[in-house]
Chains A and B, each alone.
Chain A
Amino acid sequence: MSLRNLRGTLLIGLSILIAFALTVLPLPAWAQAWRPAWVALVLMYWSMAVPERVGVITAWFIGVLLDVLVGTTLGQHALGLAVIACLTVIYHKRLRVFSQLQQGSICAGMLLLYVTLLRIVDRFAGVPVPSVSYLTVVTSALLWPWLFIILRDVRRKGGVR
């Protein structure tokens, strides 16, 4: 059981590390605004699938790391991810039975909230140009079904629960 637990933690950690790497991967200038919110998507999946393991606190700590990684105000992404994780954990049972399309639209709604929160913090911190674009919501929502399938396979094969 504990071995299985450890493997699950490793898999979740690895998926988040990959999301981190994708977040800082260099992209051509025109594509930067369209970069999906990888970490938010991956966290959303895990807090829907295994809310006992990945919840608000985990999301918050990952958010602080993300802030350090991309050099934003400390606490900015932490706040956004904590809000997303909180909503997902509360509604995880309903989210699980939704169709892909419904999940995708809920995902878009939550990311809209996420980006808005990040931009409010930007405004508060006096950052002249917002650190995220609303275009990420579009790409992230379109990406959700594929990410969902991939991570579901990972969860089943790896026996994460």
Chain B
Amino acid sequence: MFAEGPSVFSRFIVCLVLSFLLIVIDQRQQRLESVRATLAVVLYPIHLVVDFPTTLVRATAEKFSSRRELRAANERLRAENLELRFRMQRYQTLERENERLRALLDTSVMVGQKVLAGELLAVETTPSAHEIIINQGVRSGVFPGQPILDAEGIMGQTVHVNPFSSTAMLITDPRHALSVAVNRSGVRAIAVGTGSMAQLDLNFIPNNADIAEGDLVVSSGMDGVFPAGYPVGVIEVIEFEPTAPFARIKLRPHADLAHAREVLFVWPQTPEQDTPAAVPATEAPAP
């Protein structure tokens, strides 16, 4: 048996020093990502086990949904598909026209982007962090800092990528910021997370800018992480303060951040096109 006292203490001191080292290294550098990814593989079964009841409920519900419900869903999807295809026709002509015009203007052309569908795991990270865990990882080609969208708009970007899964930070996380533009007037700003799923702050818009409630705000692509032109949110509240240099603007996220289960990973434009100089990360320090 071990003697108590000094032995416990010395072991404790070793652990203390190791913890401080880990914290400092993890904070200042990205070197521990591989350690994190390796350990995450070991822990992935826990995520799957916790997610299992949710998956089971969904699977059972699908199995026992009646023929009539299925027919109704089928009909609705058909109608939706028809409408989307109709819009797509117009979109294709517009895209071609846009390409032509861009070529006339001699600017870079943005064409179809590669996407990958992923599914959220019903597990939680720390309560305050707006992070989600998705069942796609390095094996599907996911990389850190990759944009994530749902059917409605931008959701966030990946922060830790493991072989089988990845952790993504939502745009509403207080540590997150992205470069956006008002769709109508082209005014640029930074959308910063607030810690509430239903709200983003729009910073650095001057008091006299052309902006109105209900304006759609889209990604500007200038941060080098998010592709340009995807919806981020809708302006909900504008407060002008005569003494402050910038207006206080609140944004309601367009993506269904709290309920989306299927998400899309987006790859930036293919390398042969000239992309704007990439900024390493959009993560801003604490606002």
A residues whose Cβ falls under 8 Å from a Cβ of B: 17, 20-21, 24-27, 32-33, 35, 51-52, 55-57, 59-60, 63-65, 68-76, 78-79, 82-83, 86, 89-90, 121, 124-133
In the docked arrangement, what's the CA distance between A74 and B127, Å?
17
* Secondary structure type dominating chain B contacts: helix
Given contacts A21-B49, A89-B4, A124-B27, contact A78 B18 (CB under 8 A): yes
Nearest CB to that of B131 among chain A residues?
A: A71
- B126: CB under 8 A from chain A? yes
CB pair A56–B129 under 8 Å, yes or no, is no
Q: Does A60 contact B129, Cβ atoms closer than 8 Å? A: no
Could you mark each residue 164-182 of chain B with 1 if its beta carbon is under 8 Å from any beta carbon of chain A, else 0?
A: 0001000000110000000
Chain A residues with CB below 8 A from B175, complex form: 127-128
For B16, the chain A residues whose CB sits under 8 A away are 79, 82
Q: Contacts A21-B50, A56-B15, A76-B23 given: A131-B124 contact, CB under 8 Å? A: no
Judging by beta carbons under 8 Å apart, are B125 and A60 in contact?
no
Residues in B whose Cβ lies below 8 Å from that of A89: 4, 8
Give which listed residue, A55, A68, A126, contacts B8 with CB less than 8 A: A55
Bitwise, B131-159 to A at CB < 8 A (1) or not (0) is 10000000000000000000000000001
Q: Which of B9, B22, B127, B160 contacts A78 (CB 8 A)?
A: B22
Decide: A79 near B39, CB < 8 A? Known: A128-B287, A129-B174. Answer: no
Known A86-B8, A90-B4, A128-B287; 15 more pairs at CB < 8 Å: A21-B49, A26-B50, A27-B124, A57-B14, A57-B15, A70-B126, A71-B131, A72-B126, A73-B22, A75-B22, A78-B15, A78-B22, A82-B16, A127-B129, A131-B127
Report chain A residues within 8 Å CB of B21.
75
Q: Which residue of B has the minimal Cβ distance to A35?
A: B127
Which of A21, A52, A79 is in CB contact (< 8 Å) with B2? Answer: A52
Whether A121 contacts B15 in the complex (CB less than 8 A), given A65-B39, A68-B39, comes out as no
Asked whether A128 and B124 contact (CB < 8 A) given A24-B50, A68-B39, the answer is no
Q: Which residues of B contact A52 (CB under 8 A)?
A: 1-2
* Given A32-B127, A79-B16, A125:B27 Cβ within 8 A: yes
Known: A24-B50, A129-B128, A133-B127. A56 touches B27 (CB 8 A): no
- Cα A127 to Cα B175 in complex, Å, equals 7
Closest to B37 in A: A68
Q: Which residues of B sit under 8 angstroms from A75, Cβ to Cβ?
A: 18-23, 26
> Once the chains bind, are B22 and A126 in contact (CB under 8 Å)?
no
Instruction: Tell whether, in the assembled complex, residue A128 and residue B18 are in contact, meaning their CB atoms are under 8 Å apart.
Output: no
Asked whether A24 lies within 8 Å of B287 as measured between CB atoms, the reply is no
* Closest A residue by C-beta to B24: A75
Measured between beta carbons, the chain A residues less than 8 angstroms from B195 are 128-129
Complex Cα distance, B23 from A60, in Å, reads: 13
Q: Find chain B residues with CB under 8 A from A64 CB.
A: 22, 39
Q: Is the interface of A mostly helix, strand, loop or mixed?
A: helix
The distance in angstroms between the C-alpha atoms of A83 and B287, with both chains bound, is: 32
Beta-carbon contact of A132 and B2 below 8 Å: no
Contacts of B8 in A (CB 8 A): 55-56, 86, 89-90
A selection of 13 A-B contacts at a CB cut-off of 8 Å is A25-B123, A26-B50, A32-B127, A74-B23, A74-B25, A75-B18, A75-B20, A86-B11, A127-B286, A128-B287, A131-B126, A131-B127, A131-B129
Question: In the complex, what residues of B have CB within 8 A of residue A131's CB?
Answer: 126-129
Q: In the bound complex, how far is the Cα of B130 from the Cα of A131, in angstroms?
A: 11
Task: Check B23 against A73 for contact (C-beta < 8 Å).
Answer: yes
CA distance A75 to B159 in the complex (A): 18
CA distance A127 to B169 in the complex (A): 13
Given contacts A74-B32, A132-B126, contact A20 B46 (CB under 8 A): yes
Contact B12 A86 (CB under 8 A): yes
Asked whether A26 lies within 8 Å of B122 as measured between CB atoms, the reply is yes
Shortest C-beta distance, B232 to chain A (Å), equals 20
Chain B residues within an 8 Å CB radius of A72: 126
Q: For A20, list chain B residues within 8 Å (CB).
A: 43, 46
Q: Tell me which residues across on chain B come within 8 A of A82, comparing CB atoms.
A: 12, 15-16, 19
